[in-house]
Copies of this chain bind each other. A is one copy, B any other.
């Protein structure tokens, strides 16, 4: 069945610096209608960054939305008109000081498609090397670590990696390696 929900009415509730919130009235194939609450997001990149001796970059970062510090791979939001690859290269340099000459797109996925259109473009950056200082945004603060896959697997077993894109990236790398 070619199920589809047609937008009958669109109401923009909120236009923030990053997100936009809309309430949609949609009609369903059975003739009924319902409301959908949608968060529009500019999209993001995330980077699995690996040194020549197979260490992986993880960041520890406070996230206000969950009031916790999380282990994450480097990531950031797309700026208007920016390509995902350019964004990934910029964010890796800004957040960690590392650059790479060897970039590969691994996959792209939706973070939470039940209510948000946020897409995450996941890249692999191989043979990364230090290239000068980091350059955080003024309202960002992060600790940068280089960890072996064994150290990361320990964090995984202890349930300490709790960010979906980071889990996806690490499990992708683990299955790619084997």
Residues of A within 8 A of B (CB): 1, 3-5, 13-14, 16-19, 21, 23-24, 26, 28-29, 32, 34-39, 41, 44, 62-66, 69-70, 72, 75, 77, 107-120, 138-139, 141, 143, 159, 161-165, 167-168, 171-172, 174-175, 178
Q: How many copies of the polypeptide does the oligomer hold?
A: 2
Distance (Å) between the CB of A2 and the closest chain B CB? 9
In the A-B complex, the 8 residue pairs with the smallest Cβ-Cβ separation, listed nearest first, are A171-B171, A111-B112, A34-B139, A16-B37, A164-B164, A63-B113, A36-B64, A3-B141
Q: Given the complex of chains A and B, what is the CA–CA distance between A162 and B1 in angstroms? A: 21
Q: Given the complex of chains A and B, what is the CA–CA distance between A154 and B125 in angstroms? A: 24
Q: Given the complex of chains A and B, what is the CA–CA distance between A167 and B165 in angstroms? A: 9
Residues on B with beta carbons closer than 8 Å to the beta carbon of A162: 107-110
Distance (Å) between the CB of A37 and the closest chain B CB? 4
Residues on B with beta carbons closer than 8 Å to the beta carbon of A143: 1
Distance (Å) between the CB of A113 and the closest chain B CB? 4
Distance (Å) between the CB of A90 and the closest chain B CB? 16
Partner of A167, one of B16, B34, B109, B117: B109
Query: A65 to B117, Cβ gap below 8 A?
Result: yes
Query: B65 to A159, Cβ gap below 8 A?
Result: no
Query: A65 to B114, Cβ gap below 8 A?
Result: yes
Query: A35 to B21, Cβ gap below 8 A?
Result: no
Q: Given the complex of chains A and B, what is the CA–CA distance between A110 and B120 in angstroms? A: 14
